[in-house]
């Protein structure tokens, strides 16, 4: 089982670092599409990702079309505040790709129009533009992991005994 998180032109290093931590926690692969708004050597990026960098399979691309070509035949979902369907209304297949846009602009409108049936949104109160990118990735990713039965994650539906008990 593999979940794929795609960030198209992320701008804020701390968000990407936090997303690295989320990917490490659930075993997701991370696909970074440039141009990135920061250097992968950025200290804020490294600090936010802590010591989880070696736990995540990270791939870099020059364009989103490169990702689509490499994984032709795989199912892609596009996160956008403009989508009709919520992220919880979708049954996610194994090895799917969840695509998130840059913090300031989201995904290109043309891409969303071409893939409207596979666009998903996180419901929010009226007047709120969006959630933080790393929070959005976590919300959607953990719904998918829930649908997968939290396979390969600690706890997997069992009670876990903690050291302090």
* Domain containing residue 60: CATH number: 3.40.1280.10
Any domain includes 158: no
pLDDT band, very low/low/confident/very high, at 96 (cuts 50, 70, 90): very high
Residue 91 lies in a domain: yes
- Percentage of the chain beyond pLDDT 70 is 87
Q: Please check whether residue 155 lies inside any domain of the structure.
A: no
User: In the chain, how many domains are there?
Assistant: 1
Predicted structure pTM score: 0.90
Average pLDDT over the chain reads 90
165 within a domain of the structure (yes/no): no
pLDDT at 154: 74
Question: Considering the domain boundaries, does residue 103 fall inside one?
Answer: yes
- Domain of 78, in residue numbers: 4-147
Of the chain, the percentage scoring pLDDT greater than 90 comes to 75
50 in any annotated domain:
yes
The answer on whether 136 is annotated among ligand-binding residues is no
Q: Look at residue 157 and tell me if it is in a domain.
A: no
List the structure tokens of 21: 């931590």
Residue 127 annotated as binding site: no
Tell me what pLDDT residue 1 has.
57
Compare 38 and 3 and report the one with higher pLDDT.
3
Name, in order, each residue with C-beta under 8 angstroms of 101's C-beta and a sequence gap of 6 or more.
Answer: 8, 9, 79, 80, 107, 108
101 is in an annotated binding site: yes
């Amino acid at each position: 089982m593999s979940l794929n998180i795609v960030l198209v032109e992320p701008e804020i290093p701390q968000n990407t670092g936090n997303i690295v931590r989320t990917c490490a926690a659930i075993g997701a692969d991370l696909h970074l599409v440039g141009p990135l708004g920061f250097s992968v050597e950025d200290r804020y990026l490294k600090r936010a990702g802590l010591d989880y960098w070696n736990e995540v399979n990270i791939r870099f691309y020059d364009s989103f079309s490169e990702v689509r070509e490499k994984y032709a035949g795989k199912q892609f979902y596009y996160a956008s505040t403009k989508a009709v369907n919520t992220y919880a209304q979708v049954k996610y297949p194994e090895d799917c790709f969840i695509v998130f846009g840059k913090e300031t602009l989201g995904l290109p409108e043309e891409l969303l129009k071409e893939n409207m049936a596979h666009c998903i949104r996180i419901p929010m109160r009226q007047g709120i533009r969006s959630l933080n990118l790393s929070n959005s990735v976590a919300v959607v990713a953990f719904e998918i992991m829930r649908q997968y039965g939290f396979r390969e994650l600690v706890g997997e539906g069992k009670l876990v005994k903690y050291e302090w008990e």
